[in-house]
Amino acid sequence: MKKALKSQEHIYLLLEKTAGQKTTQIAQALNISRVSVYLHLKQLILENRVYSIGRASATRYFPVSRELPTQEVLALIQKALFEKYEENIPSEEIIETFRRSMMYMDKDGIISYGLDAFLLWCYDEKHNYTNIIPEKAVEYIDIIGSIEYLRGKNGLLDVTIPARENLGEDMNIGFNKFFICTVSVLQNGFGSTRTALSLRYGKQNSNIELLRDAISLWIQPIRTFVYKNKIDAVIFTPPTEGRKMQFRDVLERELNLSISKIIVEKVSLSGRVLESQKNIRDKKRRIYNALGSMIVTLPVNLKTLEHILILDDSFTTGATPNAIALKMREGWFIGKITIITICGSMNYDLAITEDEI
């Protein structure tokens, strides 16, 4: 028994000194069998002194007293970036990239952000990228960089052309310009962005902190857009489900715009929306449902307005905000109409198959 306890202590001290070891590395370092190491680690995990990440031969072990090995991994990511681009990327820039775009929720509902979230995502048994974290990080940073390259001077992503192409065959176009603040889903299986996840979980759980997080990065770009483009009226797209806390209301409070607001509501029966857009997968049905489910209160000064902004949470097909724009045109509004959604896709096929927000 004493020998077993001594071996366990040696393993724990080794992990404190060099966290993230695999069983084979521990066995080699301490000159004991892999089977013995595995049994000792199992006991240390039961005692909540050690935790494991990964699976099978890629499993790595960390002392509970240690935080995630963020600094060690950060150095490896910098090295991998230098090998690819022959350029030293500052650690602050790498950390900021992950902070703005990465969120992870574990099976217990605990949320992490930034590089820690990325590590947990890599360690998740669904992915198990433990052995290639630096390579996956470079891949992730490349994707984020390709998106940021498309961002305009106004801080937004212009999706006017794909939105027109998506809707043009089945629906008249009522808007002039269409922007999204960020994408909902990243390529190559990296999943939903921080903004999209905060928006989804915030709406599902009526969590105001998550809803605020979803829009925290985009409040200033939207305010600046309103000021520079002389927006004189705003429309907040109405919710389609009766939740205790509505994203529209949080967005309106956080923006605190000092311009007139045009009221738009969904057609409802006994307080329930007739059919929610999120439950419709067919594009044409979405369009027809959007066109027939809006009640717009046209302002008496509509003809004096020059630029209306429609704000929505996410862009899937664009049918809902475009339907509102068409209602404005039916009221003989001839000025500019711009649509901005908090997140969305620049590719229709990806948008229509992603998890609804």
Tens-digit pLDDT string for the chain (357 aa)? 456 678 899 999 998 887 778 899 999 999 999 999 999 999 998 888 888 776 677 677 888 765 666 788 898 899 999 999 999 999 999 999 999 999 998 777 889 899 989 988 887 778 778 778 899 999 999 999 999 999 999 999 999 998 998 888 778 999 999 999 999 999 999 999 999 999 999 998 999 999 999 999 999 999 999 999 999 999 999 887 777 889 999 999 999 999 999 999 877 544 444 555 555 555 566 666 667 677 888 888 888 999 999 999 988 778 889 999 999 999 999 999 999 999 998 764 444 444 444
Determine the pLDDT at residue 272.
46
Determine the pLDDT at residue 83.
94
Determine the pLDDT at residue 245.
85
Contacts of 251 (CB under 8 A, 6+ apart): 211, 215, 236, 311, 313, 342
Determine the pLDDT at residue 292.
66
Contacts of 168 (CB under 8 A, 6+ apart): none
Determine the pLDDT at residue 283.
57
Rounded CA-CA distance 211/38 in Å is 43
Rounded CA-CA distance 252/85 in Å is 43
Please state the length of the chain: 357
Contacts of 326 (CB under 8 A, 6+ apart): 171, 172, 174, 291
Rounded CA-CA distance 238/224 in Å is 23
**Token representation of residue 327:** 């209602």
Rounded CA-CA distance 75/90 in Å is 10
Determine the pLDDT at residue 284.
62
Whose tokens are 């929306």? That residue is 273
Residue whose C-alpha is closest to residue 181's, from 132, 251, 119? 251
Whose tokens are 């891949």? That residue is 139
**Cα–Cα separations (whole angstroms), residue 151 to 127, 134, 146, 244:** 30, 26, 9, 34
Rounded CA-CA distance 89/94 in Å is 7
Rounded CA-CA distance 325/211 in Å is 25
Contacts of 278 (CB under 8 A, 6+ apart): 240, 241, 356
Domains and CATH numbers, the chain: 2-63 (1.10.10.10), 70-149 (no CATH), 157-353 (3.40.50)
Determine the pLDDT at residue 355.
43
Residue whose C-alpha is closest to residue 121's, from 135, 110, 105? 105
**Token representation of residue 341:** 């959604």
Rounded CA-CA distance 97/3 in Å is 47
Determine the pLDDT at residue 244.
80
Instruction: Provide the sign of the torsion angle of the four alpha carbons 281, 286, 288, 289, taken in this order.
Output: positive
Q: Which amino acid is at 169?
A: E
3-state secondary structure the chain: CHHHHHHHHHHHHHHHHCCCECHHHHHHHHCCCHHHHHHHHHHHHHCCCEEEECCHHHCEEEECCCCCCHHHHHHHHHHHHHHHHCCCCCHHHHHHHHHHHCEEECCCCCEEEHHHHHHHHHHCCCCCCHHHHHHHHHHHHHHHHHHHHCCCCCCCEECHHHHHHHHHCCCCCCCCEEEEEEECEECCCCEECHHHHHHHHHHHHCCHHHHHHHHHCCHHHHHHHHHHCCCCEEEECCCCCCCCCCHHHHHHHHHCCCCEECCEEECEECCEECCCHHHCCCHHHHHHHHHHCEEECCCCCHHHCCEEEEEEEEECCCHHHHHHHHHHHHCCCCCEEEEEEEEECCCHHHHHHCCCC
